[in-house]
Amino acid sequence: MTSARVFLIGGVMSFRALFNWLSPWIYVPTMLVSPVFQILLFAYIGRAARVQSDKFYVIGNALQYTAIPCVFAMSHTIAGERFQQTLGYILVTPARRIPLFVGRSLPVVVNGALTSAFALALGGAILGIHVPVSALAPLALTIVLCAASCTGLGLLSAAIGFLVRETATLNNIVFGVLLIFCGVNVSLDDLPGWMSTLAQGLPLTHGIEAARKLADGASLSYVAGLIGAEALVGLLYGLAGYALLRALELQSRVHATLERA
């Protein structure tokens, strides 16, 4: 029961307490407007280069933008607490760590999925792309999955937050790597072999490919393999992030370095 409270109530409370972007003055430009401009920018570069359809860029960029709310927010669960000097209090509590950290990820996943869905809807409407009605529910599932796998990566970034101070810099780099490698704006076939191989192990790659196929009319069962791969990648990042969090938490206690970075 206590774990359930830590998971649900603790997660929502930490989300509300840590993120000043919940102010509409920040949320609207950052979460709602920016992804649409990212879509328009790359769609127009695509038109200039005559390389892909608008639908390719709308789907790729809308899903990739989940990286902003998910990776940044998860890493902020460590960096933000440390900035407010509350990290030590959190970690000395007897609360079990799985509900503590996974509970914090739940609102992040919801927010990431909403951001992506809004960008997809508005970007698609502006550029006039057509998506079959039958694809909407599977697309929603894919969006949630992409948000969850990005949150897994964010958990890993949060763990690294025990070691480095500039998590914002790290997350900007992560965002850029996902933008280049995951087939967001350049098809994996057009990237060098080592980049497309590396992309197979990154969140979003399989989810974006699945979403594009769904938008072209494929059934959910047809893309089940891609969706499964996306879930697996996200799960592995989440597990790696959790394991690293525990290990570095222990290290920071042993060496008294919790507040140092």
Partner 1 sequence: MRVLRLVVVGWLFHIKSLTLSWFFLLTAVFTPLLVATIAYYMFRAGGKPGTLFYASLGAAVFGIWSSTLFGSGGAIQWQRWQGTLELLVAAPAPFFLVLLPLTLATSTIGIYSLTSTLLWGRLLFGIPFHVEHPLAFAAAIPATILGLGLLGLVLAATFVLYRHANALSNMLEQPVLLVTGMLVPLSLLPGWVHPIAWVLSPTWGARGLREAALGGSPWPEIGMTLGLGIAYVLIGAFCLRHFEVAARREATLSLT
Residues binding partner 1 (CB under 8 A):
21, 23, 25-26, 29-30, 33-34, 37-38, 40-42, 44-51, 166, 168-169, 172-173, 176, 179-180, 185-187, 190-191
- Residue (21 or 242) nearer to partner 1, CB: 21
Task: Classify 53 in phi/psi space as left (phi over 0), alpha (psi -120 to 50) or beta.
Answer: beta
Q: Closest separation between CB of residue 195 and partner 1, Å?
A: 9
Contacts of 258 (CB under 8 A, 6+ apart): 82, 87, 88, 91, 162, 252
Q: Closest separation between CB of residue 16 and partner 1, Å?
A: 17
> Alpha helix locations (H) across the chain?
2-5, 11-18, 24-27, 34-49, 54-64, 67, 73-83, 87-92, 97-127, 136-160, 167-181, 193-199, 205-215, 224-254
- Residue (40 or 136) nearer to partner 1, CB: 40
Q: Closest separation between CB of residue 1 and partner 1, Å?
A: 39
Beta carbons of 182 and 204 less than 8 angstroms apart = yes
- Cα distance between residue 183 and residue 206, in whole Å: 9
- Residue (44 or 89) nearer to partner 1, CB: 44
Q: Closest separation between CB of residue 2 and partner 1, Å?
A: 36
- Residue (31 or 87) nearer to partner 1, CB: 31
Q: Closest separation between CB of residue 28 and partner 1, Å?
A: 8
Contacts of 34 (CB under 8 A, 6+ apart): 65, 68
- Residue (101 or 181) nearer to partner 1, CB: 181
